A and B are shown apart, each in its own frame.
Chain A
Amino acid sequence: MTFFSIDNLAIAFGGLQALQDIRFDVQAGEVFAIIGPNGAGKTTLFNCINGIYRPDAGNIRFDGRNIQGLRPDQVARLGIARTFQNIELFANMTTMENIMLGRHVFMRTGLFRGAAMWGPRSFAGREERDHRRQVEKIIDLLRLQAVRGKLVGALPYGTQKMVELARALALEPKLLLLDEPCAGMTAEEKQDMIFWIKDIQNDLGITILLIEHDMRMVMDISDRILAINFGQPITIGTADEVRRHPEVLKAYLGEEDHRESAA
């Protein structure tokens, strides 16, 4: 049984066929990348997985069950977390609060229990402490100690991206969707990010689905790559296979450049 698979996925917005015939499967523990030019439909694909969009056709299977048609919160509860291309943080909250919100799905203390129970030894107190401990672990892992109490809206761009990653990890995902984790980062921050992604894969055993433009990074960390263009799959394979595929070259470099490189 495959860990995650997409079969025959299609979605259209009005007359625009945004995705068509998308099919691939991801093994547990893999880093699987999706590449393609701007507007190829990569983020749309993520939105379909998350349940933000409802595909017109196709199947999405995760961990042995069909997740197509579930609401975003149900998908999150099953263990799929995500970061965004344009950072989507809670800007007026601190780093700590943002990451704590990632624990939302695990919190059991409701309004009345929270109001009735006080002190560190009550159920609510123990629960709070356990969640904080988990969050501290993630903060340590991603070295966010220095910004723990700062409002995230005021943090530098690269740090915000890290906070978003931390928040996704707080959900204890089995599958992590990263939408251009390196976009807009400095070379140094990119190096760090590559390092964290490898750590997340190896140490935490989380399967990663990745969208990225930086080809060097993609080639470096992905086990397999799916290339799409105009919503249609071009090819699937290892980094070397995809890099040499003529259609990929054409999509990325344009018709002329391709002819030149062939000549």
Chain B
Amino acid sequence: MIDFIQMLINGIAAGSSYALIGLAMVIIYKTSEVPNFAQGEMALISTYVAYMLLEQHQFPSYLAFPLSLVFAVVLGCILEFTILRRAKEPNVLGMIIITIGIEMILMGLVSWKFGAEQKSMPFPISPYDSVMIGDFFVSTLEVLTLVVALCTMIVLFLFFRYSRLGMAMKATQQNPMAARIMGIRTRRILMATWGISSLVGASAGLLLSPVIMQPYMMWDPMLKGFAAAVMGGMTSLPGAVFGAYLLGIIENLFGGYISIEFKSVVAFAVIVLMLCIRPSGLFARHYVKKV
């Protein structure tokens, strides 16, 4: 029983970082209707910016982390403005290829500038510290990740529910044409969604960096986050979060009880199974499109 609960806790911890990536992908998908495969690498480069500021420029961490998040927002906006907006009469397939292109460029940049070897991020919290909650071990980093993920969800909820920009984003998602006629600058809104999404993704990157930090560090979390988002229906923020935690928990239980070698693969088996039973995802809300 203790094992089970410990695995559950580990699963929730893993799910938190999947949830952040999943949220980031859903935010972009809802407005741009493109799965952003550059999400992981956008987070990667922001994480390396934090590393650069800390290691090479001796910034204090209370400055370096916020600055890298600001960089993430700017990066998201710039990518949307300079690359995606330039696509003439884009279709989904073309856009996906563009995001994969961005992904490769960013990955190349990081490898070229920082090298492919494992770095050690001077993170204020060591991944080996842990706290005891009752009989269970939880690493401090996992607690922090969970807290950040929960705060991000609350802030996103408040943002979409109550802020003017958030409402404008919702309007743009639901009916871009009507949004424009109501005086909303939909292109600027699109740019802002990329900025926000990049910010959410970068926070996941930063939280992963103490454990693993090399140019491929975001591959696995991004695929899992994407899988979680698909499981949640790709257009639902709560769906992505739910999918992420479900995935994290299943993965850890499977790793603990059945096979540790196939731990990473089981996530995708679950998705295949789920998409067979419920093709539109768990939380899908379909916006009916008029032709």
Residues of A bordering B, CB below 8 Å: 50, 52, 71-73, 76-77, 81-82, 84, 86, 88-93, 97, 100-102, 104-105, 107, 109-111, 114-115, 153, 167, 171
Stretch binding the partner chain, chosen from B167-175, B226-234, B253-261: B167-175
Q: A71-B185, A104-B168 are in contact. List 11 more A-B contacts (CB 8 A).
A: A52-B180, A72-B180, A73-B183, A76-B183, A82-B181, A86-B290, A88-B175, A90-B174, A90-B179, A110-B165, A114-B162
Q: With A91-B288, A93-B170 known to touch, is A105 a contact of B182 (CB < 8 Å)?
A: yes
Q: Is the CB of A72 within 8 A of B181?
A: yes
Which residues of A have CB within 8 Å of B168? Answer: 101, 104
Q: B interface vs A, CB < 8 Å?
A: 159, 162-165, 167-168, 170-171, 174-175, 177-186, 285, 287-288, 290
Q: Are A73 and B184 in contact (CB under 8 A)?
A: yes
Chain A residues, CB < 8 A from B175: 88-91
Per the bound structure, the CA–CA distance linking A121 and B287 in Å amounts to: 38
**B290 nearest CB neighbor, chain A only:** A86
State whether A114 and B163 are in contact (beta carbons under 8 Å apart), knowing that A72-B180, A88-B178 are contacts in the complex: yes
User: Could you say which residues of chain B place their CB within 8 Å of the CB of A76?
Assistant: 180-183
In the complex, the answer to whether A90 meets B171 with C-beta atoms within 8 Å is yes
**Docked CA distance A111–B166 (Å):** 9
Specify which of B164, B177, B182 is in contact with A171 (CB 8 Å cutoff). B182
Nearest chain-A residue to B164 (Cβ)? A107
Interchain CA distance A104-B171 in the complex, whole Å: 11
CB distance from A115 to the nearest CB of B (A): 8
User: Roughly how many angstroms separate A93 CA and B184 CA in the complex, as a whole number?
Assistant: 16
Q: Is the CB of B164 within 8 A of A114?
A: yes
Which residues of the partner chain A approach B171 to less than 8 Å between Cβ atoms?
Answer: 90, 93, 101, 104
Point out which of A77, A104, A171 has the most chain B C-beta atoms below 10 A from its C-beta: A104
| Sample of 10 A–B contacts (CB below 8 Å) | A72-B181, A84-B177, A88-B178, A90-B170, A90-B175, A91-B288, A92-B174, A97-B167, A101-B167, A114-B164
